[in-house]
Structure 1
Amino acid sequence: MPGQLHYGATAKLLHWVIVALLAVQYPIGWLMPDIHPGQAPGAAMTFHISFGIVILVLIVVRLIWRLTHPVASESSLPPWQRLSSEAVHWMLYVLVLATTVSGWVFASFRGWAVSFFYMMPLPMLASDNAAAGKAIDGLHQAAEWSLLVLICLHVAVALAHLFIYRDHVMQRMLPK
């Protein structure tokens, strides 16, 4: 892939802001109480959906940035590592998109009136449909667990490059 050899400041900023937001998003999602039919979503759900929308916007911006500002694969890596790295990064994009969009669609199918950080109402992407909501919730949960597993794999490999291989691959995404 043609392009520069290192990630620029914008790519790094988007990457690390998304990492930070996901680090906030997962605990909110796991710790918030279940919302039963007829019950209005509370603060935890409002923040969970709001952070999800921010993550969705940022991942779309990050994806566009990556497509318009390509970075060459690390030439010191064996071909199988370059290929698997590229595949994992694209899967991360797909899973972040799938997780955020499925969460928004799930909230829509539940018929919830949700606001963006209590400042403005969010448009719903579908109408109230309990059966569809249940199916989408299953997809949302599968996407979030798949994303978490892939994130853990990504972090483990990054740490291996940093501490075991010591090949400076990780430095491409670290702040200077």
Structure 2
Amino acid sequence: MQLRNNSQRYGWISIGLHWLVAMTVVGLFALGLWMVDLGYYDAWYRKGPDLHRSIGILLFLVMSARLLWRWISPPPATLATHQRWEVILGHLAHWALYGLLFVAMVSGYLITSADGSSVSVFNWFAVPSITGHRSGLEEIAGDIHEIAVWSLIILAGLHALAALKHHLLDRDDTLRRMLGMSLRQIP
């Protein structure tokens, strides 16, 4: 299989970025849910948020690279068997997923940096605050983060169900193309 997308299939770079982002989002969501119940004296009270923030900043970089790659290597054409409404909803869902991801990442960054502090990424580098100290920003960013993350997880679940619908009910190659599998249909 090729690295770049072509008119029929996704290339390995797009497939790898897709699944890396998907697994990272699910992992960050689970970590976030777990973190909110940690007590002050829990050993992970500080480690959990540090890990969550570091991975979130790296995810921002990966998503930026993913959008750049999408521009360099456009996705394959939708399958001819898809209904017009499926094509429209698919495009809207993909762009909504991208938008929600960036809203979640930026709001997460603002939660931490609202007091003027930088965000350390695994002690490799730090991302400075762009706002300086802003009273009340942490709460607003926190509310936006929570709404964006829950919306993202719900939409990602619908996205997964749609892929399974195409694979199991429609028996088309939508999911097979994103798994790097050989195609069933001859285009």
- TM-score, normalised via structure 1 length: 0.88
In 2, Cα distance between equivalents of 1:34 and 1:126 = 28
Shift in Å, 1:118:
3.0
State the match for 1:156 in structure 2.
Answer: 161
State the match for 2:51 in structure 1.
Answer: 47
Q: Does 1:27 align with 2:54?
A: no
Q: Which amino acid aligns with 1:11?
A: S
Q: Does 1:85 align with 2:90?
A: yes
In 1, Cα distance between equivalents of 2:132 and 2:34 = 26
Runs (4+) off by over 3 Å: 110-114
- The unaligned stretches of length 5 or more in structure 1 are 36-40
In 2, Cα distance between equivalents of 1:27 and 1:110 = 26
In 1, Cα distance between equivalents of 2:126 and 2:105 = 17
SS in 1 for 2:136: helix
State the match for 2:110 in structure 1.
Answer: 105
Shift in Å, 1:76:
1.5
Q: Does 1:129 align with 2:151?
A: no
In 2, Cα distance between equivalents of 1:28 and 1:52 = 11
Contact 1:104 1:125 in 2 (8 A): no
TM-align CA RMSD = 2.0
By relative contact order (CA 8 Å, sep 6+), the higher-ranking structure is: 1
Q: Does 1:69 align with 2:62?
A: no
Q: Which amino acid aligns with 2:51?
A: F
Residue 33 to residue 130, structure 1, CA distance change in 2 (3 Å): farther
State the number of aligned residues.
Answer: 170
Shift in Å, 1:129:
2.4
Residue 110 to residue 162, structure 1, CA distance change in 2 (3 Å): farther
SS in 2 for 1:130: coil
